[in-house]
Amino acid sequence: MGDSRQAFKDLTDMDNENGKPILLYLTSTDEKMERKVENYENSVLANEKFCITAKFFDCYQVDVTDIEEGHPILTMIKRPKPLTFFTIHKGKVLYGTKQKPSVSNLFSTCSKTLKKTHNAPLDKIVKQESKILDELDKIIVEKKKIDEKRLKAGRKLSKREDESLRKREQELFDQEAQLKEEEEKLLELEQYVIKSKKTAKT
């Protein structure tokens, strides 16, 4: 599934005129906060549901110990505190969380944001994405078993068995390609805006 902590990059620009909304995570490298930050990130940012949710945002982080007077972030967030999140779109803060929000609280914040910016039903999309990822995981497992079977059989693998394995590998390849195509479409936020406009006209 991956670890959403890897999705967070250093903030370079909060004025994203187009595309995904920003999910801004305020962290801290203060030694006194080190254990709290580590424990929190291991329990929340590594959570499967949040890992999927993070795909719908451009994720950035800012170390609050680096925020000094005159820092651009202070024009948007007056009292930045570590272990808080803010969603930003077109240079404006939409929603913020309290310190150390739970997965459900953070998901709710992200859900409200995507509903506001793209009319996207995050809960339904995440369920669909979870199913796709489960199917992709099954394909990976089966591919590995085929490789192990080939390795174990070595030269003793008959032509008939080899053809059967090749056929199954092609089927898995096709299934994987189809699932990835479905995933790409699912993650395209612009489609939800278009649907919203069509609904409004009718």
Residue 26 sits in the same domain as residue 75: yes
Q: Are residues 65 and 137 in the same domain?
A: no
In this structure, are 35 and 102 located in the same domain?
Answer: yes
* Contact present, 132 and 55 (Cβ < 8 Å): no
The residues facing 58 across adjacent strands are 22
What sign for the dihedral angle of Cα 127, 185, 193, 2?
Answer: positive
Q: Counting beta carbons within 10 angstroms of the beta carbon of residue 135, is it exposed (0 to 12), middle (13 to 18) or buried (19 or more)?
A: middle
44 and 135 within one domain: no
How high is the pLDDT of residue 79?
86
Residue 130 confidence (pLDDT): 94
111 and 126 co-located in one domain: no
Q: What is the CATH number of the domain that holds 65?
A: 3.40.30.10
Query: What pLDDT is stored for residue 1 in this prediction?
Result: 44
The pLDDT of residue 13: 55
Give every CB contact of residue 166 below 8 A, 6+ residues apart in sequence: none
Task: Examine the fold and report which residue of 97, 118, 139 is the final residue of a domain before the chain moves on.
Answer: 118
Distance of CA 123 to the CA centre of its chain: 13
**In the structure encoding, which two tokens stand for residue 96, read together?**
């913020």
Domain boundary residue, one of 118, 149, 172? 118
pLDDT tens for the chain, 202 residues: list them: 445 555 676 655 555 555 789 999 999 999 999 999 999 989 898 888 998 999 999 898 889 988 888 777 888 888 899 999 999 998 889 999 999 999 999 999 999 999 999 999 999 999 999 999 999 999 999 999 999 999 988 888 899 999 999 999 999 999 999 999 999 999 998 888 876 666 555 4
Domain containing residue 87: 4-118
d(CA 168, CA 164): 6
Cα–Cα distance for residue pair 202/79, rounded to 1 Å: 44
Please check whether residues 9 and 67 belong to one and the same domain.
yes
pTM confidence score:
0.81
Domain C-terminal end among 118, 138, 163: 118
Task: Supply the pLDDT for residue 167.
Answer: 96
Whether 13 and 86 share a structural domain = yes
Question: Same domain, yes or no, for 16 and 51?
Answer: yes
**Whether residue 143 sits in one domain with residue 100:** no
Which residue type, as a one-letter code, is found at position 164? S
Strands 84-89 and 92-96: antiparallel
Q: Are residues 108 and 170 in the same domain?
A: no
Domain count for the chain, please give it. 2
What does the pLDDT read at residue 85?
96
Residues 79 and 138 reside in one and the same domain: no
**Is residue 110 located within the same domain as residue 14?**
yes
